[in-house]
Structure 1
Amino acid sequence: MASVSLFSVAKADNPTPEEQAKIQKILDLKANLHPQYGDVRLILAEATLHLGQDYYFLSAEEAKKVLVDGWGNPPGNVSNVIGMIFKDKTSFINAQWGAVVTFKGTGYVSDEDSKTADYDAIITQMREGEAEENAARVKQGYEPVHIVGWAQHPSYDPQHHSIVWAQDLRFGTQKDDTLNYDVRVLGRRGYVSLNMVSTMSQLPDVDIGAKKLATVAAYNPGARYEDYSPSSDAKAEYGLAGLVAAGVGVAVAKKVGLLALLLAFGKKFFIVGLMIVAGLFGRIKRLFSRRS
């Protein structure tokens, strides 16, 4: 189907000058990105992403621009981002997900508890404090958050030393729950983290992407998981269960008030105790969706 000009679409929807300026800013940002395919080196993590042609990578600098200028996150909360990954033929404007890449130099995380970890107990413990936390949130004028459960039960892959999990979170009376998908790829000195935030309606697509990304990161010789030396290397004070518990706690904290790396259009941002409804972005999304 032939595309129509952004001008004609914008004119039909009568956007404000401010909205028109935002649309142009987003288009300019998209036009100046430089997607990287194939093998991408993560220098800080001493690893390489083998993305092939199905996914692409944005550098740390460009990823931060997407998160701040495109998706509305505060600059101070994306300082540790080392890149982003998107599915081919999508962009930050229309993607169902984007994986935020970070590296945590926590030391070696043991996988000795991979067969004994009780991940359901983690959800149970989180729910125990839910009522009290939500009472405080409502009192402050924020939506309550309900932990529905695991959207993807934590699963460890001993071959790639990666663990994936996903949470189903319900904010207030939202009709489409929030999906928070996490991938951790373990190495000798820490782990590469890939965080994907979307909605539960997009679970099948996000699930495919997450499980693929769990296999694409390979640490350089000397930094691999099996290169760990008990006599000389730092070791994290927790195993896989602790890694998941910490990851779940961080994810919930972000959505409660610190930072939610949500897809920008039509969703909400949570910034240091302040919830901002992104109505402008919802309208911009409608404009872009009508371009074809």
Structure 2
Amino acid sequence: MRIKMLAAAILLAGVPAQILASPAANTTATAELTAEQKAYVARMKALLDSLHPRTGDVPIGNANATLHLGEDYYFLPAEEAKKVLVEGWGNPPDAVGGVLGLVFPKGKTFLDDSWGAVVTYEATGYVSDKDAKTEDYDALLRDIQESEKADNEERTKAGYAARHLVGWAQQPSYNPADHSLIWARDIRFSGSDVDALNYDVRLLGRHGVLSLNMVASMPQLAEVRTAAAAFGKAASFDVGSRYADYDSSKDKTAEFGLAGLVAAGAGVAAAKKVGLLGAILLFGKKFLAIFIAAIAGGLAWVRRKFSRSGEEG
């Protein structure tokens, strides 16, 4: 984990969650904060006030797709999403370059202990689902776990916490009706007392894959599993870019299948181990970014933990 993320966690110590959500809500508690904590609260309040959430149908132009959010969710556009990921959740700026937006459930913000979905798109080409029924995801899990040493060496050199894929929080499952692939990972980071939950919702299209990466922590598994089942249906590709619109005579085809998408989200070493050179060339360093977002999602838990400790003390 980078130093700035540790600093953010330390800074949150003793800051009650209700103050972060509304600094004016508890003037007595606010007065007891250190000058540094007050400054942090002011920055978070300013960031929250600067956002312009959107509901209803939101076009994702880069992907030729639309998020049908209704009033149940809201969307933050790319630049505001990046500000939340960097300034609010402590991610390094070079990790959020491909982010197209963030989605939160109605009534929740980046300051709450709730999931947030990072929206990205990769022009992979058409990803074939012909092997959907024969993919061995248990074997893939073992391959990913065996590759962790190499990935973690790179991560620690870059200043990030080592990570361990404990197992599937939900084994990858493919829905041929809407061409969506959903899986969830229980991820343990060194130095963290709570496991991260990385819930991936991928929608396959004619030219690429739309990713709705739901960031949370393992204690929220039941809540996020239910949310993923509903939220995953909120996205669709526009006419002409749908999976069914694929034309084999002229469209680009990805060099990997569904297992490749899962392995790609796990890291470069894992992709190499299962021979997914096409995935490596396509995704490159972006492997790292999704996990950074996953770490950041744990900050809400850190805030709650330290707040609770302060109250008990």
TM-score by length of 1: 0.82
Is the 8 Å Cα contact of residues 71 and 264 (structure 1) preserved in structure 2? yes
Q: 1:209-231 deviations in whole A, cap 9, x for unaligned?
A: 22222211111111110000000
Shift of 1:256: 7.4
**Judging changes above 3 Å, is the alpha-carbon distance between structure 1 residues 99 and 218 closer, same or farther for their aligned structure 2 residues?**
same
**Judging changes above 3 Å, is the alpha-carbon distance between structure 1 residues 189 and 155 closer, same or farther for their aligned structure 2 residues?**
same
**Judging changes above 3 Å, is the alpha-carbon distance between structure 1 residues 255 and 11 closer, same or farther for their aligned structure 2 residues?**
farther
Is the 8 Å Cα contact of residues 91 and 293 (structure 2) preserved in structure 1? yes
Match of 1:45 in 2: 63
Match of 2:293 in 1: 261
The structure in which a higher percent of residues are helix is 2
- Unaligned segments of structure 2, at least 5 residues: 1-17, 271-284
Q: 1:184-211 deviations in whole A, cap 9, x for unaligned?
A: 1011000111112221101011112222
Shift of 1:282: 3.4
Q: Is 2:303 the partner of 1:282?
A: yes
Query: Partner of 2:293: helix, strand, or coil?
Result: coil
Query: Partner of 2:41: helix, strand, or coil?
Result: helix
Question: Equivalent of 1:24, from 37, 42, 46?
Answer: 42
User: In the alignment, residue 30 of structure 2 is paired with which amino acid?
Assistant: A
Question: Equivalent of 1:196, from 199, 214, 229?
Answer: 214
Q: 1:127-165 deviations in whole A, cap 9, x for unaligned?
A: 223456668878999755332110010011111111010
Moved more, 197-206 or 227-236: 197-206
Is the 8 Å Cα contact of residues 23 and 284 (structure 1) preserved in structure 2? no
Is the 8 Å Cα contact of residues 55 and 85 (structure 1) preserved in structure 2? yes
TM-score by length of 2: 0.77
Match of 1:273 in 2: none
Match of 1:119 in 2: 137
Q: How many residues align?
A: 275
Match of 2:262 in 1: 244
User: In the alignment, residue 28 of structure 2 is paired with which amino acid?
Assistant: S
Question: Equivalent of 2:230, from 190, 202, 212?
Answer: 212
**Judging changes above 3 Å, is the alpha-carbon distance between structure 1 residues 10 and 152 closer, same or farther for their aligned structure 2 residues?**
same
Q: Is 2:197 the partner of 1:183?
A: no
Query: Partner of 1:41: helix, strand, or coil?
Result: strand
Shift of 1:251: 11
User: In the alignment, residue 158 of structure 1 is paired with which amino acid?
Assistant: P
**Judging changes above 3 Å, is the alpha-carbon distance between structure 1 residues 73 and 144 closer, same or farther for their aligned structure 2 residues?**
closer
Is the 8 Å Cα contact of residues 198 and 216 (structure 2) preserved in structure 1? yes
Match of 1:275 in 2: none
Q: 1:75-104 deviations in whole A, cap 9, x for unaligned?
A: 222111110110111000004211000110
**Judging changes above 3 Å, is the alpha-carbon distance between structure 1 residues 96 and 254 closer, same or farther for their aligned structure 2 residues?**
farther
The structure in which a higher percent of residues are strand is 1
User: In the alignment, residue 307 of structure 2 is paired with which amino acid?
Assistant: R
Query: Partner of 1:261: helix, strand, or coil?
Result: helix
Is the 8 Å Cα contact of residues 97 and 263 (structure 1) preserved in structure 2? no
Match of 1:129 in 2: 147
Is the 8 Å Cα contact of residues 121 and 209 (structure 2) preserved in structure 1? yes
- Unaligned segments of structure 1, at least 5 residues: 269-277
Question: Equivalent of 1:8, from 22, 28, 45?
Answer: 28
User: In the alignment, residue 53 of structure 2 is paired with which amino acid?
Assistant: P
Is the 8 Å Cα contact of residues 147 and 269 (structure 2) preserved in structure 1? no
Aligned-pair identity in percent equals 48
Q: 1:34-56 deviations in whole A, cap 9, x for unaligned?
A: 11111111111111111111111
Give distance in 2, aligned partners of 1:60 and 1:165: 24
User: In the alignment, residue 249 of structure 2 is paired with which amino acid?
Assistant: S
